[in-house]
Amino acid sequence: MSQQERAIRTRELILEAAGEVFAERGYDGATISDVYSRAGLTKGAFYFHFASKEELAEAILEVQVGSGAYPVVRRTLKLQELVDAGFVFGHRLMYDRMLQGSVGLSLERGAHQLDRRRPFLAWVDHNLAALTEASEQGELYGYADLRATAELLVGAFSGIQMLSHVLADRRDLTERLSVLLAQVLPSVAVPGVLAQLDLSADRGERVLAEAEALAAAQAGGTA
């Protein structure tokens, strides 16, 4: 393992441990020594990567954003891609402690000065881009308000995952997402598109497996 690879791996170890600690204790309750102890690292190794708890929390918030959070498998229907991103995120949130910690931080009030808006805004942008493409392909009604829908989906998703967390330790998260999409999308998608959408609760698990198989095949092809 090269020095660079080792640094990347150490950073990942810290982030995984930090996600768990934030998920369990919240931002205010978590300490830096909780994090490096759990990761099995020294204080020095920690501070090589992060200068403060705040910087660490910002990196954790970032794991909700970008292609790592919602790997995309291209579909003919852009609305299915939007749905897939939501289900993959929801599925991962059911077991990925780092993602749970990240979502917890973005929901948490408290003494910290973190910019909690970024994950929400990134998801709004992502949804808006997907809805715009879907609209250009004729998948949506012409009168659909794309921005309002993009923001509604982000807000409503945040709430149903929280309700699922409080009531069922997130076990029914993707079932609740299925209900949300089935009730919201008919207001924007034309019937012929709706009929083709897969909104089943296990969609995320299947798409994630597909994305991983594709990534493995690509890695094999370029090796």
> Which residues, other chains included, contact 97 with Cβ-Cβ below 8 Å and sequence gap of 6+?
16, 19, 20, 23
Q: Residue 30, interface with a second copy (CB under 8 A)? A: no
Per the listing, tokens 């330790």 go with 169
CB of 205: closest distance to a second copy in angstroms? 21
* Integer Cα distance of 64 and 33 in angstroms: 24
Q: Residue 212, interface with a second copy (CB under 8 A)? A: no
Helix, strand, coil percent content, the chain, rounded in steps of 5: 70, 0, 25
Residues 54-93 that bind a second copy (CB under 8 A): none
116, 132, 146, 190: residue in contact with a second copy (rule CB under 8 A): 116
Q: Residue 217, interface with a second copy (CB under 8 A)? A: no
Torsion sign (Cα): 105, 65, 134, 201 = negative
* # of chain residues touching a second copy (CB under 8 A): 42
CB of 120: closest distance to a second copy in angstroms? 6
Binding footprint of a second copy on the chain (CB under 8 A): 25-26, 28-29, 104, 106-111, 116-117, 120-121, 145, 148-149, 151-152, 154-164, 166-167, 176, 179-180, 182-184, 186-188
